[in-house]
Amino acid sequence: MTARRIPILVVFALILVGAAVVDRQANPSPAAEADTLRLKVPAAAKASAGSSAWYCAGATAGANSLADGYVIVANSSSKALTGTMTVIPLAGESKGAPFQVAASSHVALHIADVLTAPFASAIVELDGGGVTVELSTTGPLGDSATPCASSGSSQWYFAEGSTTKDASETLLLFNPFPDDAVVNVVFSTDEGQVVPQALTGLSIRGQGMVAIGVGDHVQRRAAIATSITAQRGRLVAARLQTFDGTAGRKGISVALGSPVAAETWYFPEGKVTEGLVERFQLYNPSRQEAAVELHLTLDQGQAEPIIVAIPAESRVTVTANEEARIPKDVAHAVTARSVNGVGIVVERTIDAAPASHRNGLSVMPGALVAANRSAFAAGQSDDQVDEWIVIQNPGNRSATVSLTVLAGGMPTTDPSLQNIEIPAGQRRAVHLTEVIKLQATPLVIESSVPIVVERDLFRTKGFGTAMTTSIPLGT
């Protein structure tokens, strides 16, 4: 009797094991989801890596041009590295420029010093890891900064975009790889989807790029979301958005696209105040309605979540200034979360006018992952630029956070930037300019638990509002 039961018990055990495996695949753990996302978002290779590469798109290449581009390379490792920046113009031959970056230091590489072009992209290759790379731009409409990509993707999304009379939106599609890529571009507006025939089966040659004027395909729309899908190959996508001021809004934003639609997006900084308009652009590229909650973390008090339904293949705008539950002049963080398992894309737009003591435009996607170690390559904290570091602790344990500036090969710390305590589920803003005044502030952030970090740069005179989240460092 016992002998006959053994095979049955073995089969039953195997069924249970198989069911557990299927359940883990269908419902991956938060840690597994974070690991998957880290492979898609910009992230630095381990310091011990033998090589690393970054891909930057979205700049113009010319002094006094609209978005004059600088590639900022920060080396958080303990050894000097050698690299090459290869600049690829919209048309014409590419050109390489060798460089070196010392340990615990950075270099700023001016794209226009290599070649000039209406638009240009760059491949940055190094003989080691522990490096973060950002694209910083400056021009008559202000400043902007965005992480470069550490990998290509077959899918890119943008939740924000506008082609109104005062606005211009340009998509920069960059193929840094040897083989040609073929892509389809689809736009979503308040009046439905737009599928331009000219952007279906669009070919991008190997190590080449294409600039798409969105207004040539979707005219006079205040809000446009974009989905870019590669039928073949991989690419990097960035968006250049401008407002010329004739209708009130004025400024420029260069931003890397989002390579994935995800369930959770983090925005550490926000405030409803005079002269500042904060909007959240939520895009649902799937064929199923998304149920979304915007959870608010206030510096003072509490607020109920904002509930949003996003129809399939559609987009929705939430304007913080129109939400009575968000108190004026109280800083907040926002976590956008899809509660029915549908992946979404979320970007935050900040329009700043002088009444808020800031001036310019910022459009940035939220952070997808929290990290124990992360870095910024760009930064400036002096009389010309006001710099803030905003830290959000989304977890259920208190965080102890320390900030280190990589200043010319000498890691620079200050007691007020060490062992900063941030309770579980809370946020804290650090006014870096009050502590350190440097023309360049590449920064490493270390925490006892995973956190999300945002850097905000505000030019004290003229236009300049550049906001972005940090780049995870490999461990």
Architecture of domain 155-256: Sandwich (2.60)
Fold: same for 52-145 and 155-256: yes
Query: In sequence order, what are the beta bridge partners of 36?
Result: none
Domain extents in the chain: 52-145, 155-256
User: What pLDDT is stored for residue 31 in this prediction?
Assistant: 53
Total length of the chain = 475
User: pLDDT tens, 326-358?
Assistant: 999 999 999 999 999 999 999 999 999 988 989
pTM higher than 0.85: yes
SS3 305: coil
Instruction: Give the closest residue to 122 by CA, choosing from 70, 85, 74.
Output: 85
Query: In sequence order, what are the beta bridge partners of 145?
Result: 136
- CA–CA gap between residue 442 and residue 424 (Å, rounded): 27
- CA–CA gap between residue 441 and residue 375 (Å, rounded): 11
Architecture of domain 52-145: Sandwich (2.60)
Judged against a pLDDT cut of 70, whether residue 5 lies above it is answered with no
Structure tokens at 104: 């615990």
User: pLDDT tens, 236-292?
Assistant: 999 999 999 999 999 999 999 999 999 999 999 999 999 999 999 999 999 999 999
Mean pLDDT of 385-396: 98
Element (H, E) at 338: strand 332-338
What is the rounded radius of gyration, in angstroms, for the C-alpha atoms of the chain?
23
User: pLDDT tens, 179-236?
Assistant: 999 999 999 999 999 999 999 999 999 999 999 999 999 999 999 999 999 999 999 9
Other C-beta atoms closer than 10 Å to the C-beta of 391 total 24
Query: In sequence order, what are the beta bridge partners of 102?
Result: none
SS3 423: coil
Q: How far apart are the first and last CA of the chain?
A: 55
Under the banding of pLDDT at 50, 70 and 90, the label for residue 45 is very high
